C-alpha cells in the first residue's frame, strides 16, 4: 500500500468520502484525539445491512449470521488500523456504540494494541421506553476511551472534570439528555436529518476531558458534525470525514456557523502538577516558614525542626520534608507539603497552604 508522501493535514475541514480510503492519504502520527461514532448496522428491522450499506440476504441460517459479524469485524478492524496509524503515540480515542456492536469494537481495540482507559456509560435522561415490555428500557450507550497503547502518556484533564462535577471525581457514568429540540438538525420537512445525532453536551465533556486548546481532533464518521461544532467552539483543530453527501453538507454548514468561545474560557482548569514548583527552601529563605519552626504531623505525634537550608531535622535524622515524612512513618513515599503542619495563630496549617500563599504573592508581583 502506498501513502501520499508529505500530504498536508487538511485541518478544520470535513472531507466527503469513505473514511478508510481517505485516512490512507493522511500522514501518520498526526492527531491528538479521535471521536468515532461508527455505524451499528446490525440485526435491525428484520433486514441486515453490511457496513457498506449493501443488503445481506438469507438472514436465518447460522452461516450468514457468522458472515455478518465477520463482515462487521473486518470493517471495524480496517478503520481502526488506519485511525491508530494517524494517532500520535500519546493520543486517545473514543468510540461510542450499543450492545449490538460495542463488544466487537472493544475486542478489536484490545487486539490491535489499544489500551482501554475507561468504558464510559452515557445514561440517557430521556430514553425511548421499551414499547413491548419484553426487555429493560435500553437507557444507555457505551463509550470506550482508550490510549493508542499501554505506554501512552495520554492527556486527562482531571481538574477540569472534577470542577465540572461539583468538585468530586467524575465517574464513569454520565447522565445526559438526548439530542432533541432546536439542537436537532432537521430537513425542510421538519424531519430529523440524522437518526443518531449525538448531543452537544456529550462531545463537550469528551473534548474537555481529553484534549487541550489547538489539539487536533479526528472524527472519521462525522455525520451531522457534533464533534466538529464542539471542536470549533472549544478551539480545538478538527478533521472530519463523512461518506454521505447530505450529512457532510449539513456538517460543513454547521461547522461554518459555529463560533469559538473566548480563548480564556476554554483553557483547561490548571492541574496542580502544572503549577510552578516552589522549593521548600525558598519559603525558609523568604521567612514564610522561618528556620527553627517546629513542624508536626496532623496528630502532633511526630515533630521536626526547620533548618536554614530547607532540610528538616527530627532527632538525629535529617532530610527533605518528603524524605523525613516517609522515614518517620515507615512509608515508601510521602508528600511533605501536605504531611507537615505548623502552628499559626493557634491552629495547625499545612506547608501546602503557605506554598499556595507564596505563589499568589509571586503572581501578584509579576502581574
Partner DNA sequence: TTCCTGGTTGAATCCGTGG
Partner DNA sequence: TCCACGGATTCAACCAGGA
Contact footprint for its own copies (CB under 8 A): 49, 53, 62, 65-66, 69, 98-100, 102-107, 109-111, 113, 116-121, 123, 127, 129-130, 133-140, 142, 144-145, 156, 158, 161-162, 169-173, 175, 209, 329, 331-334, 367
**Residue closer to DNA, measured from CB, 262 or 367:** 367
Q: Which does 249 bind (CB under 5 to 8 A by kind): DNA, its own copies, none?
A: none
Give the position of cell 499568589.
360
**Residue closer to its own copies, measured from CB, 65 or 184:** 65
**C-alpha–C-alpha distance, residues 54 and 67, integer Å:** 13
Q: How far is the CB of 279 from DNA (least distance, A)?
A: 6
Q: How far is the CB of 355 from its own copies (least distance, A)?
A: 17
Of 184, 175, 233, 182, the residue nearest 204 (C-alpha)? 233
**Residue closer to its own copies, measured from CB, 171 or 294:** 171
Q: Which does 65 bind (CB under 5 to 8 A by kind): DNA, its own copies, none?
A: its own copies
Contact 192, 186 (CB under 8 A): yes
Q: How far is the CB of 273 from its own copies (least distance, A)?
A: 9
- Separation in Å, CA 114 to CA 84, 87, 262, 320: 8, 11, 34, 40
The neighbouring-strand residues paired with 141 are 122
Q: How far is the CB of 153 from DNA (least distance, A)?
A: 5
Q: Which does 56 bind (CB under 5 to 8 A by kind): DNA, its own copies, none?
A: DNA
Q: Which does 337 bind (CB under 5 to 8 A by kind): DNA, its own copies, none?
A: DNA
Q: Which does 113 bind (CB under 5 to 8 A by kind): DNA, its own copies, none?
A: its own copies
* DSSP conformation letters of 206-263: HHHHH--TT-EEEETT-TTTHHHHHHHHTT-EEEEEESSHHHHHHHHHHHHH--PPPH
Contact 168, 158 (CB under 8 A): no
**Residue closer to DNA, measured from CB, 168 or 263:** 168
- Dihedral (Cα; 323, 327, 333, 334), 10-degree rounding: -70
Q: Which does 120 bind (CB under 5 to 8 A by kind): DNA, its own copies, none?
A: its own copies
Q: How far is the CB of 126 from its own copies (least distance, A)?
A: 11
Q: How far is the CB of 283 from its own copies (least distance, A)?
A: 21
**C-alpha–C-alpha distance, residues 363 and 286, integer Å:** 15
**Residue closer to its own copies, measured from CB, 165 or 187:** 165
The C-alpha angle 142, 144, 150, rounded to 5 degrees, equals 160
H or E element in which residue 283 lies: helix 280-285
**Residue closer to DNA, measured from CB, 85 or 286:** 286
**Residue closer to its own copies, measured from CB, 117 or 313:** 117
Contact 217, 34 (CB under 8 A): yes
**Residue 97: Cβ-neighbour burial (10 angstroms; 0-12, 13-18, 19+):** buried
Q: How far is the CB of 208 from its own copies (least distance, A)?
A: 12
Amino acid at each position: 500500500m502506498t501513502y501520499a508522501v508529505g500530504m498536508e493535514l487538511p485541518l478544520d475541514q470535513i472531507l466527503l468520502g469513505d473514511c478508510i480510503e481517505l485516512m490512507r492519504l493522511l500522514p501518520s502520527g498526526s492527531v491528538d484525539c479521535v471521536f468515532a461514532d461508527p455505524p451499528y448496522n446490525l440485526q435491525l428491522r428484520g433486514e441486515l445491512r453490511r457496513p457498506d450499506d449493501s443488503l445481506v440476504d438469507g438472514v436465518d441460517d447460522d452461516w450468514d449470521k457468522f458472515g455478518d459479524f465477520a463482515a462487521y469485524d473486518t470493517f471495524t478492524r480496517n478503520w481502526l488500523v488506519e485511525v491508530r496509524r494517524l494517532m500520535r503515540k500519546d493520543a486517545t480515542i473514543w468510540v461510542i456504540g450499543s450492545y449490538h456492536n460495542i463488544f466487537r469494537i472493544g475486542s478489536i481495540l484490545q487486539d490491535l494494541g489499544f489500551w482501554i482507559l475507561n468504558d464510559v456509560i452515557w445514561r440517557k435522561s430521556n430514553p425511548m421506553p421499551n414499547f413491548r415490555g419484553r426487555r429493560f428500557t435500553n437507557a444507555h450507550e457505551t463509550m470506550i476511551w482508550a490510549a493508542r497503547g499501554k505506554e501512552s502518556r495520554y492527556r486527562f484533564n482531571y481538574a477540569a472534570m472534577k470542577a465540572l462535577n461539583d468538585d468530586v471525581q467524575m465517574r464513569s457514568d454520565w447522565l445526559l439528555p438526548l439530542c432533541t429540540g432546536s439542537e436537532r438538525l432537521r430537513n425542510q420537512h421538519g424531519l430529523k436529518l440524522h437518526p443518531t445525532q449525538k448531543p452537544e453536551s456529550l462531545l463537550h465533556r469528551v473534548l474537555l476531558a481529553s484534549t487541550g486548546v489547538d489539539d487536533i481532533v479526528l472524527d472519521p464518521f462525522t455525520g451531522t458534525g457534533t464533534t466538529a461544532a464542539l471542536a470549533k467552539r472549544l478551539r480545538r483543530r478538527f478533521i472530519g470525514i463523512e461518506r454521505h453527501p447530505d450529512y457532510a453538507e449539513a456538517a460543513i454548514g454547521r461547522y461554518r456557523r459555529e463560533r469559538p468561545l473566548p480563548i480564556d474560557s476554554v483553557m483547561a482548569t490548571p492541574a496542580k502538577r502544572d503549577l510552578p514548583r516552589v522549593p521548600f527552601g525558598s519559603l525558609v529563605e523568604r521567612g514564610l516558614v522561618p528556620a527553627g519552626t517546629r513542624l508536626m504531623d496532623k496528630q502532633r505525634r511526630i515533630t521536626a525542626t526547620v533548618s536554614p537550608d530547607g532540610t528538616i531535622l527530627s532527632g538525629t535524622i535529617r532530610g527533605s520534608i518528603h524524605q523525613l515524612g516517609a522515614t518517620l512513618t515507615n512509608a515508601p513515599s510521602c508528600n511533605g507539603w501536605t504531611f507537615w503542619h505548623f502552628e499559626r495563630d493557634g491552629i495547625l496549617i499545612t506547608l501546602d497552604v503557605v506554598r499556595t500563599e507564596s505563589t499568589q504573592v509571586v503572581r501578584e508581583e509579576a502581574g
